Amino acid sequence: MSTPTSTSTTSSISSTAGRTQAAAPIPTDVQTLPFAKAINAGLRAALGGDDKVLLMGEDIGPLGGVFRVTDGLQASFGADRVVDTPLAESGILGTAIGLALRGYRPVCEIQFDGFIFPAFDQITTQLAKMHYRSRGRLTVPVVVRVPYGGGIGAVEHHSESPEVLFAHTPGLRVVSPGSPQDAYTMIQEAIASPDPVLFFEPKGRYWEKGAVDLSAGPYGRRAAEQQGADADQQGAADEQSAGGQGDADEQPVRESITVREPVTVAEANGFATLNTAVVARPGTDLTLVAYGPTVATALKVAEAAASEGTSIEVVDLRSISPLDTDTVVESVRKTHRCVVVHEAPTFLGTGAEIAATVTERCFYDLEAPVLRVGGFHTPYPVAKIEHEYLPSLDRVLDAVDRSLAF
């Protein structure tokens, strides 16, 4: 990722030797970034904006992770902020919980979706319940990054979609961005949130590019504001120098800083991106609900349907738990039809919850039953036939046609 020096601010970091040194400037402009690089930029902004943020995971240091999402972060922030851990998911989560209780904001990477299950006990019986068990006295702001979903031709345990297992557990936020911009903003809001967050990243979309406003998100805004303050300070210094006041050696020196104060709810804009669904494409004939890896598929479906005269509204959930049903319901009351698409099996999946809710709240508005398109109720297949398992353009269009036929 390019790093423009004209629109950035500098943070202070702790090196591997424990010394404080200037990190690379944090960019605050608009760039076109792949999905993975957008997450990298969000992590960089959070690391630079709060020295209590640290990353933990297998091979996330010099290697930058299997998908290179953390590439360059250890070189910038040191091995005590970007920590290579042993291959022990339960140990990673247990350590993160302890760090969170001591005031840190750990971000754990699970290398692949199917590897999260050794940590399932720590996540569902400790991380999810600590705040409730302590009657609100304790918070555990842990983020668990999970590359998930198919489409990369991987072997068993590398293409699963286990998000609903965690969404069913009270006390956990479960989110999945569908665009590079949301990935950048939502990873920052997840880190700033006082709640534990399961951050599911659609790895099949890691290389898709989009425009990203790097001044968005709580830490991105901090960097932009600091950059503006630095510019004002430098301008004042230049004016003083031009006026001939004082010697050059006496000019004020701009120091690198780290913002140590936690992000407030107001500063995070109420975690709006993390909490709410968004209409990714407006339409009038049918509501197509998606999240994470299927958002891009849904948009392609809407484009294909438009060529045949059908107007599809695409709703990107962004958050699976809590679920913004109001946005979905508002859309369905306008279009009178709904299709839900996700890669996870449809049996007892997120789509089932949405279908039940829409039916309850929009019963007299619906002109067709709510349909679901997703994975089948089988273990994830071998790579050669995963295209038969995943919700493809044709499978979703078939559901659209069936809904419109009622």
The β-bridge relationship of strands 26-27 and 53-57 is unpaired
Residue 404 near residue 371 (C-beta atoms within 8 A): no
The β-bridge relationship of strands 105-109 and 82-84 is unpaired
Letter string b/e over residues 333-344, b meaning 16 or more CB atoms within 10 A of that residue's CB:
eebbbbbbbbbb
170-to-57, 123, 192, 265 alpha-carbon distances in Å: 25, 11, 20, 21
Burial of residue 101, with CB atoms counted within 10 A of its CB: 0-12 exposed, 13-18 middle, 19 or more buried: middle
Residue 304 near residue 397 (C-beta atoms within 8 A): yes
Distance CA 344, CA 346 (A): 6
Distance CA 134, CA 370 (A): 40
252-to-233, 238, 241, 246, 342 alpha-carbon distances in Å: 9, 10, 10, 11, 56
Residue 82 near residue 37 (C-beta atoms within 8 A): no
List active site positions: 158
Nearest-Å Rg of the Cα atoms of the chain is 23
Distance CA 324, CA 91 (A): 33
The candidate with the shortest Cα–Cα distance to 369, out of 396, 399, 349, is: 399
Find the largest Cα–Cα distance for the chain: 82
Kindly report each contact of residues 154-157 with a partner whose C-beta sits within 8 Å and lies 24 or more positions away, as own/partner. 154/112, 154/383, 155/382, 155/383, 156/114, 156/379, 156/380, 156/382, 157/112, 157/113, 157/114, 157/115
Helix 35-49 / helix 218-242 crossing angle, nearest 10 deg? 60
Distance CA 57, CA 47 (A): 15
CA dihedral angle for residue 115, residue 116, residue 122, residue 126, rounded to 10 degrees: 170
H-only helix segments in 134-261: 163-167, 180-192, 218-242
